[in-house]
Amino acid sequence: LQLAESGGGWVQAGGSLRLSCATSGFRVEHYAIGWFRQAPGKEREELSCISSISSITRATTYADSVAGRFTVSRDAAETTVYLQMNSLKPEDSGHYSCAAAWAPTSDFCAVLPGEWRYATWGLGTSVTVSS
């Protein structure tokens, strides 16, 4: 199981970035994907969850801090999960990671599950938002 994030970088406040989480080495259809970030000196924050491909109904959920600005989605081949980040703020700066959890039903993402529910993590990508 491997996850690889990309798309981080520097952006001015109000701008946008799209992060990618490429999955490989496992049957991704049964895995939910979460996005997380960690700012220097702060605890890791859970941002979003998108339910597995195999779940009958798709579910996405977001932290209050990013709801309405960030959108999580899967590509057509459903091997990559994206985090579209709009209206970025300096406080969105941090190291962003994706993680996978075996979760064949959509109720896993009914609410943010908690990082302890995720078994596989990528190395992350850094985002800097300047004011």
Beta bridge partners of 5: 21
Whether the pLDDT of residue 5 is over 80: the answer is: yes
Q: What per-residue confidence (pLDDT) applies to 11? A: 98
CA 61/CA 46 separation, integer angstroms:
10
93-to-8, 11, 18, 118, 120 alpha-carbon distances in Å: 10, 10, 14, 23, 23
Q: What per-residue confidence (pLDDT) applies to 54? A: 79
**pLDDT per position as a tens digit, 53-91:** 877 788 999 999 999 999 999 887 778 999 999 999 999
**pLDDT per position as a tens digit, 88-111:** 999 999 999 999 999 988 899 999
Q: What per-residue confidence (pLDDT) applies to 47? A: 98
What DSSP state is assigned to residue 16?
Answer: -
Cα–Cα nearest to 87, from 103, 61, 69, 105: 69
